[in-house]
A and B are shown apart, each in its own frame.
Chain A
Amino acid sequence: MPSVSNLIFYTFLLLSVYAQVFFFVTFLENRKKIIVRKGKIKLANYPAVTVVVPCWNEERTVYRTVQSLLNLNYPQDKLQIFLIDDGSTDSTWAILNKFAKYPNIQIFRKENGGKYTALNLGLAHLETEFFGCLDADTLVDPESLSRIMSYFEGDPTVMAIAPSVTVYNPKNFLQNAQKVEYFMGVYFKKMLGFLGAINVTPGPLTIFRRKVFEDLGPYRHGHNTEDMEIAYRMQKNRYRIEHCNDAYVYTATPSSIGKLYRQRLRWIYGFINNTLDYRDVLFRKKYGNFALFTLPTGIISIFSVNYLFGRIVYNLFHFLSTKILVINTVGWNFPAISSNFDPFFINAQSFTFLVLLVYLLIIFSITFGRKMAEGKWTFSLSVLYFFPVFSIIAPFWLLSAIYDTIISRRPSWR
């Protein structure tokens, strides 16, 4: 490889090591503040909360989702639930009607306009001080809401609380790989919370103070990632977003590569385009770590994953062309491979150790994220295939998202 390529490689490596060390130092600084509560908690008072469940063709999951809301360990008279059918064409509406008898549930039906329009309908009918959204493919843990509300109780300056999202009932290897990724997400979210730099208030049960929408306006389309756009808007206006690590929600994850690809394409496209929309925030110190750390780290990771993928493809191509040259030259008579392993041939260039360090820090983030989400220190074997699976498929949605941005093509929701 030419030296320019090595220079780029080491630059990306430096930035990746920097980001991972930054997270780790944040962890060391705040580790004593990370509390995982077990069992029920009691709040001094229970403020009224409205949770909106926007549904578009969710017949398979919405019943369980609403049931889990009804099972929340939160006074039901303080919990308003809005079920909003956003123009479903399946039996979602009929399922929603089964909940009509509950006094704290209101059901709405509207023409399809996208998730943000359903949420805005909920906001238009909002009467409580707190507002939250719950995706219709997500289940909430019975203690999640009261734990989230305890954060609001303890700190009047916090404007939104994001929960820990983990994977519901993973069945195949792809879902298990995502489970690992979501554990990592819990860790990063917590650290970004400490840094005041969260860039997504996830659809599954982020709770906001009503003031957020009164001051900043309703949800926007946000390139199909309205939960990211509202977080950017809040950060731009210096509204604090926290992460409640022991409020668990369980989300259904894509079961096939095609579905996962479409979901991630939408997310990355949303990240790129929301970042472009809010580019005036980037590197401006008045917007804090969000502008100086979260956004640059996201941008760098897109470029470095793509670059790394290019490098892997190049090396693979080089390896295969060498093998083809051997076959073309001497046929299939490969020399006997010596069974004696010689440690001499282990690559001991400095990048080997640095890449290893980055992987170790990521494994730590997964393990600690799991500790926060499940309360136990366990090393899952899924980690072993999380890395190869995501390093092979992630570049495709990253590259497609860049391409779609260039040609101004908006990815579909599903």
Chain B
Amino acid sequence: MIDWKKYLLVFLITVSLFFTAGFISNYFGDQKIDQIKSIQDNIAISILSSETQFALLQESSCKNVSGSVLSDELDELGDKLEWGEKNLGVTTEVTYLKKYYSLLQIKDYLLMKKISAQCKVKSAFILYFYTTAENCSLCEKQGIVLSALRDKYPELRVYSFDYSIDLSAVRAMLQIYKIKDTLLPALVIDDDVLTGFYSVEDLESRVKESFKLQEKN
């Protein structure tokens, strides 16, 4: 005799286990989103505080201006967001956080550029535009090159922007530097726009030049 009740019971247990697993997974997913949010909020406060401090003191007291947000913090945030995109799915929350991240990067870039110009802090900046909308193997390679460079030169700050992100501030930058999606990956270094893939050696010389330019100024 078949015990149909048992087959049904096991099915119900299995389904509830799936729901429980989904629930636990969502719980941890939310925790991760909260963690990203809290990092972003900290960074936002740091940037705002540095901006305010800089505005108050102007160039008269460069030594009091802390180096804005630590580059490490922005990197960590970037890594976690990238992981979140892959593993938590592109939810509205992740997309929102990514926009916020892009905005923070722009703010950090503008502020750091000002600080380095006025206070002669050794630094170089690269704006990096990539796309996730289509399969961009060169973007993947370019990302690897930039990570390697960033490891080698701690004074180098790389800000990366997803071309397809729906954010007016990023669109404004794309307009300023006349970047088109057919020319990705694209890099901006010392206001020069470089499109296509650039190797470590190509970029290394540009970064070194950028450091020299600063010294002359």
What is A's interface to B at a CB cutoff of 8 Å?
14, 17-18, 21-22, 25, 29, 285, 288-289, 292, 325-326, 329-331, 333, 335-336, 344-345, 347-354, 357
Contacts and interface: CB of A to CB of B under 8 A. Distances in A.
B144 A348 contact: no
B32 A348 contact: yes
A348 B89 CA distance: 12
B62 to A, nearest CB: 31
Given A329-B144, A330-B144, A18 B2 contact: no
B65 to A, nearest CB: 28
Interface in B195-216: 199-200
B151 interface: yes
Nearest to B26: A350
A349 B177 CA distance: 40
A354 B21 CA distance: 7
Contacts of A352: 25
B2 A21 contact: no
Contacts of B13: 21, 25
Interface in B1-45: 1-2, 6-7, 9-11, 13-14, 17-18, 20-22, 24-25, 28-29, 32, 35
Contact of A14 (B18, B83, B140, B144): B18
B25 A348 contact: yes
Contacts of B22: 350
A25 B24 contact: no
Contacts of B148: 329-330, 333, 335
Contacts of A357: 17, 21
B78 to A, nearest CB: 13
B35 A25 contact: no
10 contacts: A18-B11, A25-B9, A25-B10, A325-B144, A329-B145, A344-B80, A347-B87, A348-B24, A353-B20, A353-B25
Contacts of B32: 344, 348
A270 B80 CA distance: 50
Given A325-B140, A330-B148, A350-B24, 20 more contacts: A14-B18, A17-B18, A18-B10, A25-B10, A25-B13, A292-B7, A326-B144, A329-B141, A329-B199, A330-B144, A333-B151, A336-B151, A344-B35, A348-B24, A350-B21, A350-B22, A350-B25, A353-B21, A354-B17, A357-B17
Interface string B143-187: 011011001100000000000000000000000000000000000
Contacts of B6: 22, 25, 29
Contacts of A329: 141, 144-145, 148, 199-200
Given A21-B13, A25-B13, A353 B141 contact: no
Contacts of A331: 200
